[in-house]
Every structure is written in C-alpha cells, then in structure tokens.
Amino acid sequence: MRNLADHTGNPQDGDNPGLPNSRKISAPLTFQWVRDVEVVLDGSYLIEDLLPKSGPAVLYGDSGSGKTFLALELAAAVAMGGEWAGRHVEGGPVIYLCAEGQSGFRNRLVALVDADRISRDAPFALIPTAIDLQKTDGEGFESLLATTKEIAREVGSPALIVIDTLSKTFGAGSENSDDMVSYVANCERIAEIFDCLTLIVHHRPKNGENRGERGHSSLRAGVVASILVESKLGSTIRTATTTHKKEGPAAP
C-alpha cells in the first residue's frame, strides 16, 4: 500500500501514522477522514417523516387536487414552527414563489391568518411573479438568489422555499426532455446555498393512471422526496402520499 504521507509530507501523529494531517493540507474542497465521520441520527426532517430538511422535493397532483392548498399549509406550519398534523416541525423563515394565480393565493394566505394558522409577523415572504429557473445561470436563477439573500438579511436564512409551479417557472424548456436536468440542478443549487428545502409544486400526467410526476424522469431521480396529492371523485377528502424518498423507509 502506498504511503499517503509521501504526497503531503505531513503524517498524522498517533495511531495512524500513514494518514496525513488534514489541518496542514491546503485543498479547494472540504473533506473528512473516515475516522471523523459520525452517524446522523436526527435533524434530517423539516416536517417529521414527511419533508426532508434540505434538497429539492416535489409535491404534485392533478389540477384541482389541492396541491397549492397543501403547499401553503405546510409552508405556514414551517414559518410558525411547532407541529403539523401531529408531526414535529423545524420552524424557520419561508419564501413562497407564487408564479400563477396570485390573487387567489393572497386570499388563501389571508384566510390562514384569519384562522390563526399563521400570524401577520411570521417570517413568511411571498414572491408573486413567474421567473425562468430552467436556464443554467439564467436571469431567473440569479434574481431568486439575490432576492432570497435580501430576505435572509432581514429574517435569517430560509428553511423552506416553495416554487409554485414548475410549469410556470420552466421558461421555454420542454418538461419531457433533458431540459429538466438543469431545472432540478438550479433548485438543488438554491437548496445547497441556503441549506434549505426547495419544494416544487407540479402536475401529474393527465391520463390519471401514472402515479409519477409529469415530465422527464430526471425530476424523480433528482429530488429527495415526492408527495402525491389526490382528491376522490365526488368527495371533499384529499390525500397526500409519499411516493418517493431518497433517505429513510421506502415509500409505498
């Protein structure tokens, strides 16, 4: 076995003389030796067993299924902290990018205030505009990045950024092509920069049989969780089912 110290000149004192001393190495990327890696047992969920704490995730369903209602409900719960549906919530600032139906969304938000589900002074910021997040390093991405930084200066780094909807923030790209790769990558970059969850509200294929998200398979492959919202015909009941999780127990 080659001696790693030959490449650094800085062997580690103690039990592992062949390992270099990471404190004396100048490297452009952060790294850890296996001896320093520990198990992460908690703090991995924004909403217990439902939404992971960081990365891109997607909440999807048919038109009229209640996607935005649920997304807003979850966002309000994060902004307030405490519990949601009996699940522990890691509270924190929320940014909601509402790219369509802004008037109706404002009405829903005020209704939540009137119902004491969110307070007027909660760290919840609404961005009522459509932007293009599909282009790599495009104006839409840079605008969201700059706006989020400005909001963070006032209330702290966001715990959750909701993007509602994918179709209204996809620009001229095609959802069924590799254009989806750059879109998901931009959502992931935002999540990494602010160490938060980016929750993408999206649609389900119109045939109603496919339980997956509409569009290219790179969306499912690139997100940490997928939640399907469904409404039963002739019923006011709405259900939310986790159909994909990158970490934790397998989804049904």
Which tens digit of pLDDT belongs to each residue from 68-110?
A: 999 999 999 999 999 999 999 999 999 999 999 999 999 999 9
Integer Cα distance of 200 and 206 in angstroms: 18
How many CA atoms lie within 13 Å of 101's alpha carbon, on the beta-carbon side?
A: 15
User: How many residues does the structure list for the chain?
Assistant: 252
pLDDT confidence tier of residue 41, bands split at 50, 70 and 90: low
Integer Cα distance of 172 and 190 in angstroms: 21
pLDDT confidence tier of residue 4, bands split at 50, 70 and 90: very low
Given a cut of 90, whether residue 46 has pLDDT beyond it is: yes
172: CB partners within 8 A, 6+ apart? 132, 134
pLDDT at residue 249 in the model: 60
pLDDT at residue 38 in the model: 86
Q: What percent of the chain lies above the pLDDT cut of 70? A: 85
pLDDT at residue 61 in the model: 93
- With beta carbons less than 8 A apart as the criterion, state whether 199 and 71 touch: yes
Structure token digits, residue 114:
């009137």
Q: Residue 121: helix, strand or coil by DSSP? A: coil
Neighbours of 106 (CB within 10 A): 13
Q: Residue 174: helix, strand or coil by DSSP? A: coil
pLDDT at residue 5 in the model: 42
Structure token digits, residue 222:
């690139």
**Closest CA relative to residue 221, chosen from 248, 189, 174, 188:** 188
- With beta carbons less than 8 A apart as the criterion, state whether 201 and 166 touch: yes
- With beta carbons less than 8 A apart as the criterion, state whether 129 and 99 touch: yes
**Angle at which helices 179-194 and 139-155 cross, to 10°:** 20
pLDDT at residue 248 in the model: 65
**Angle at which helices 102-114 and 67-80 cross, to 10°:** 50
- With beta carbons less than 8 A apart as the criterion, state whether 19 and 4 touch: yes
Structure token digits, residue 65:
């299924």
